């Protein structure tokens, strides 16, 4: 049996084509794990681990929508038996954050945001649990917006607050099976999506440590909670990673 914290594990990472998802896939691959990399679009050849051939060999992409549970279940049923037969870690990173307010939100936006950010976490977790054993773990990526209000992020903040509660509920439900569930709640991170807002410089100026986070820093926390072997007594928690921007 492959032990958590040892080379040779298998991780499932969503949102794996860029940003925090790509960095998380790379972190597992650097530790000698295989990675099932799920994204709506195919993981590009130059994403994350692809700058190193031996890391690239550990990435096994699945082009799928996290809202589509049957497709994910079918892909895992095909891949997991070829990669050791069990999933050791799941990182639910995929998320979308179009701006919304009470004046501008639509039912379509609600369905999309909650579909990816909340239903996606549930779908992927449910699909993976069938392949997990005691000692495996899940990390869900929430946001500081789950704890503090960001103007113009009505539905996104609500969806990430839901992720925090889903994390607690899944931790309680899966604890008897020896599966831990935790979350991370990043603040501003240097991702392509955040860079496109044009607001990162202003955001950095408001953060106590004076900068935004890097995707690799978030990936390191996901690794600590799932693959390092050093967080076995942490369960049901969501850790805020914001450079001091959100202190609670």
pLDDT at 103 over 90: yes
For the chain, the average pLDDT equals 92
pTM greater than 0.95: no
**Any domain includes 247:** no
Q: Would 97 be classed as within a structural domain?
A: yes
- In this predicted model, which residue has the larger pLDDT, 42 or 98? 98
Does residue 20 lie in a domain region?
A: yes
Which range marks the domain in which residue 204 is found?
10-241
Q: What proportions of the chain, in percent to the nearest 5, are helix, strand and coil?
A: 45, 20, 40
- Bigger pLDDT: 77 or 7? 77
The yes-or-no answer on residue 28 being catalytic is: no
Asked whether residue 118 is assigned to any structural domain, the reply reads: yes
26 has a pLDDT exceeding 80: yes
Question: Could you tell me the sign of the dihedral formed by the alpha carbons of 90, 16, 32, 224, in that order?
Answer: negative
pLDDT value of position 248: 61
Residue 176 placed within a domain:
yes
Res 183 pLDDT > 50: yes
Sheet (strand 132-141) strand order? 59-63, 34-39, 10-14, 87-92, 132-141, 180-186, 238-241
Q: Which residues contact 25 (CB under 8 A, 6 or more apart)?
A: 11, 13, 16, 35, 37, 43, 48, 49, 59
Tell me if 1 is assigned to some domain.
no
Whether residue 41 is contained in a domain is answered as yes
Q: Which of 28, 33, 97, 156 is catalytic?
A: 156
pLDDT tens profile 198-207: 788 888 988 9
**Over pLDDT 70: what percentage of the chain?**
93
The answer to whether residue 93 sits within a structural domain is yes
- Tokens 């594990």 correspond to what residue? 9
| pLDDT value, residue 7 | 58
Residue 142 has pLDDT above 60, yes or no: yes
Can you tell me the distance from the alpha carbon of 225 to that of 27, in angstroms, rounded to the nearest whole number? 13
CATH number of the domain encompassing residue 236: 3.40.50.720
Name the domain count of the chain.
Answer: 1
Range 96-114 average pLDDT:
97
């Amino acid at each position: 049996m492959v032990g958590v914290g040892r080379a040779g594990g298998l991780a499932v990472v969503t949102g794996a084509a860029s940003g925090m998802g790509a960095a998380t896939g790379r972190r597992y691959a650097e530790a000698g794990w295989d990675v099932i990399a799920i994204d709506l679009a195919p993981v590009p050849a130059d994403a994350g681990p692809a700058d190193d051939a031996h890391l690239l060999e550990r990435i096994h992409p699945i082009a799928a929508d996290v809202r589509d549970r049957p497709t994910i279940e079918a892909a895992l049923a095909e891949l997991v038996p070829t990669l050791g037969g069990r999933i050791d870690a799941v990182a639910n990173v995929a998320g979308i954050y179009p701006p919304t307010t009470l004046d501008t939100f639509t039912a379509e936006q609600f369905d999309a945001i909650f579909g990816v950010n909340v239903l996606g976490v549930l779908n992927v977790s449910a699909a993976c649990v069938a392949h997990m054993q005691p000692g495996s773990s899940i990390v869900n990526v929430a946001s500081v917006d789950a704890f503090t209000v960001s103007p113009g992020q009505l539905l996104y903040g609500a969806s990430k607050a839901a992720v925090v509660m889903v994390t607690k509920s899944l931790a309680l439900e899966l604890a008897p099976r020896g599966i831990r569930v935790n979350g991370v709640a990043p603040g501003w991170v240097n991702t392509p999506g955040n860079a496109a807002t044009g607001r990162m410089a202003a955001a950095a100026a408001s953060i106590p440590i004076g900068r935004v986070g890097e995707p690799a820093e978030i990936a390191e926390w996901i690794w600590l909670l799932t693959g390092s072997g050093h967080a076995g007594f942490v369960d049901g928690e969501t850790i805020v990673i914001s450079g001091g921007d959100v202190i609670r």
